[in-house]
Chain A
Amino acid sequence: EVQLQQSGPELEKPGASVKISCKASGYSFTGYNMNWVKQSNGKSLEWIGNIDPYYGGTSYNQKFKGKATLTVDKSSSTAYMQLKSLTSEDSAVYYCARSGRYDDYAMDYWGQGTSVTVSS
């Protein structure tokens, strides 16, 4: 069974950084891209970017360049997203979601979401 298990909720102060994890199981980690999606206030969804765990290559939404950094640890089948210089605008739920590497970009499995709250 495919599962994406994300790390727990985070409470951070403005200006801090946070690193969220997404541990994959039930499939070949390097055979699929990992995407990250932001949802603010239960509203719509924003695609942050994705990473190819096999090569480590990344694609970012220009809006999140400089804000988000995507990495993977192939040895533990875990994807990470670091968010830096946090502001209240970064308070949201963040999801990891699997998609194909080349010809299938639909996100077929999602993590449970990680809530990030930025508050002084």
Chain B
Amino acid sequence: DIVLTQSPATLSVTPGDSVSLSCRASQSISNNLHWYQQKSHESPRLLIKYASQSISGIPSRFSGSGSGTDFTLSINSVETEDFGMYFCQQSNSWPHTFGAGTKLELK
């Protein structure tokens, strides 16, 4: 199975900061990488698909980049509503797997 390693595990930030979350795959997955946000007691929400494709209804401050094994989710000027967990997921090969997540918290 493909292992996705997310870093850091926790990111403590102040509203207005710009941040980058990393997701590294154990083997090349081309651009078959998706990002989800999950707030406490809510279902995950798709933020970015296929590494960099934007999703309708998602604020433009969220962007994704990368291919192969290294991927980044960037949040330009974090807002208070952005705090929560962020997961990456690969759909390059079965079984589709998720990373362990990065917790974005208020400093």
Contact = CB atoms under 8 A, between A and B. Distances in A.
B98 A45 contact: yes
Nearest to B53: A106
Interface in A84-120: 95, 97, 99, 104-108, 110-113
Contacts of A110: 43-45
Interface residues of B, number: 21
A106 B34 CA distance: 6
B91 A44 contact: no
B96 A47 contact: yes
Interface residues of A, number: 25
Contact of A45 (B32, B55, B87): B87
| Chain B facing A: main interface SS | loop
Nearest to B94: A59
B98 A111 contact: no
Interface string B64-101: 00000000000000000000000101010011111111
Interface of A: 35, 37, 43-47, 49, 59-63, 95, 97, 99, 104-108, 110-113
Interface of B: 32, 34, 36, 43-46, 49-50, 55, 87, 89, 91, 94-101
